[in-house]
Copies of this chain bind each other. A is one copy, B any other.
Amino acid sequence: MEKIPIGKHVQGSRNSIVKKKTVVIQGLGFVGAAMALVVASNRDDLYDVIGVDLPSNAGVIDKLNAGEFPVRSSDPKVSECFKMARKRNNFRATSDQGAYALADVVVVDINLDVHKGVRDEHLDTSYSVPLDPFREAIRSIASVCKQDVLVLVESTVPPGTCKKLVQPVFEEEFQKRNLSPEFMIGHSYERVMPGPGYIDSIRNFYRVYSGIDEKSADAVESFLKTIISTEEYPLTRLGSTTASEMAKVLENSFRAMNISFIQEWTEFAEAADVNLFEVIDAIRMRPTHKNIMKPGLGVGGYCLTKDPLLASWSSQHFFGAKHLPQSERAVEINDQMPGHTLEHIFQHFREGIANKKILILGISYLPNVGDTRSTPVEPVFAALQDRKARLVLHDPFVPFWVEHQLETCSDKEALAGDYDAVILGTAHMTYFDDGLLHKILNANKPMALFDPHGAIPDTIRAEFPQHVFKITGRGDV
C-alpha cells in the first residue's frame, strides 16, 4: 500500500498557513477517477486526495499511482490535472479502507447496479436492485470515519437512498462506536460525459446538491465551491437529498424516454417511405422542439440504460407507491432497439447470414469516444456471431474490446475485406472525415451498408449507386 501523506501544513493560496483537508474518493471508476483528479487539482490546493477502490481493482490503483489515467480519454485536461497533482504530491490511490478514517470529506462514487432480468419477487418487477453491496460500502466508511465527516454521495441511487439507507447505517455505526451523530450527509450528482470534455463535465458544469439537513447542505455547498466553477455554473440547492437523487434519475429517464419515443416513429417512417431525419430537422427549427431525438442503433452507457428502473424501483420499494410504467418501458424499448437494425440485416440476407463476411465499424456506444459500457453494438455482434457470420471489428477508439476480449483491426486490415456487408455500429466522425468509409467502398464489390444512425452522407450514396444502403428511419432509401 502506498504511504499516504496526510495533515501536511502547507502555504495556502490566501497567504495563510492552513492544514490541508483530506478528501477520500470511494470508487475509482469512470466518475470517481475523474472526480479525484478534479479535487486534487483544485484551484487553491486545499486538499490531499486518496482514492479508494477494491483490491480486485488493483490495476486501476497501480495505474493512478503511476500517474496514468485508467480510463482511455481524449481529454488533454486529464494529463494537466495529473501533472498538477504530481507537483503538489497530493493524490494517492489505495485499496486500504482504513483511509476513510483520515477523511474530512468522503465522496461516494461507487456503482449501484440494476440487475435486469432478475425478478424482484416482492415488487413483481422484471429487474432487481440489490442494495447490500452499496450498504456495505457505506458501512465501511461509517465504521471508521471521523465524528464530523462529510459524506457526499455522488452515485446515482434510487431516490430516498440517503435518508433511508445511508443515514440509518451511519446512525447504527455511530451508536456502536458511542459517537454522537455529528456526521453530515449530502447528495450531489455529476453529469460526467466521456470524451474531450471529460474533466470539464465535472469542473465546468451545472450541479445540483442537497443535504439531509441544513448543516450538511451548507457543507456540501462549501466543498463544491472549491472544486467547481460555480460563478459561471451556479449551484442549485434542492430541498432534500431525495429531491436531488430524483433529479438525477429524472433527467436521465427524460432522455431515455425521448430516445425510445422516436423508435416507433422510425418504423412508421420506414413503412410510409418518409425520411425521418429531414422531418426531425424541420421540427428542430422550433425552439421548444430542439431536443427531439433522431433514429439510432440503440442506447448504451451506464446511466440511461438503468436510471429509469432505479426510479421505478424506488417508488415501489422505498415509498410503497406505484411503478413508473413509461420510464420502465423506455428502457425496454431502448434495449430492444438494436433488434430493428438486425431485422434490416436479416431481411437483406434472406438466404442466411452464415459465412457472410461483415465489417462492423464502431463498437463504442457514443461517437468519437472509446466507451463500450452497455454498447448497443454488443447485441448486434452477438446475434451475428450466433448465426456464424464472419465478423471483422474496427474502432479507432477501442483497440481492445474488454467485454469480449477481442482486438479490433487496423484501418489497413479494415480495408482488405471483400465484405458482404458493412454495419456502421458507431458514427465516429473519422469514418467520414478521414475517408475510411469511402476507401472501403472503393475497395469492395457491391455490398450492403447498414446505417442505423443516418450518418452516411447522400454524396456517398450517390457515388456508389451499385451498393445497397439501408438507413434506419429512411423509408425513402
Contacts and interface: CB of A to CB of B under 8 A. Distances in A.
Interface stretch (A322-330, A379-387, A443-451): A322-330
A208 interface: yes
A278 B237 CA distance: 9
Contact of A239 (B267, B278, B283, B325): B278
Contacts of A318: 272
Contacts of A208: 282-283, 285
A456 interface: no
Interface string A275-316: 110111111011011111000000000000000000100110
B260 A246 contact: no
Contacts of A314: 268, 272
A283 B246 CA distance: 10
Given A250-B279, A254-B261, A290-B291, A321 B240 contact: no
A269 interface: yes
Contact of A315 (B206, B268, B327): B268
Given A247-B279, A265-B324, A272 B239 contact: no
Interface string A107-131: 0000000000000000000000000
A124 to B, nearest CB: 17
A114 to B, nearest CB: 17
A341 interface: no
Interface residues of A, number: 62
Nearest to A240: B274
A159 B270 CA distance: 13
A276 B268 CA distance: 34
B246 A269 contact: yes
Contact of A286 (B246, B251, B274): B251
Interface string A183-207: 0000000010000000000000010
Given A240-B273, A272-B318, A282-B247, A254 B160 contact: no
A243 B280 CA distance: 10
A264 interface: yes
Contacts of A290: 290-291
Nearest to A278: B238
A271 interface: yes
19 contacts: A159-B274, A160-B272, A208-B282, A208-B285, A236-B282, A238-B279, A238-B282, A243-B278, A247-B282, A250-B279, A254-B289, A254-B292, A255-B288, A264-B324, A264-B326, A268-B314, A272-B319, A288-B291, A290-B290
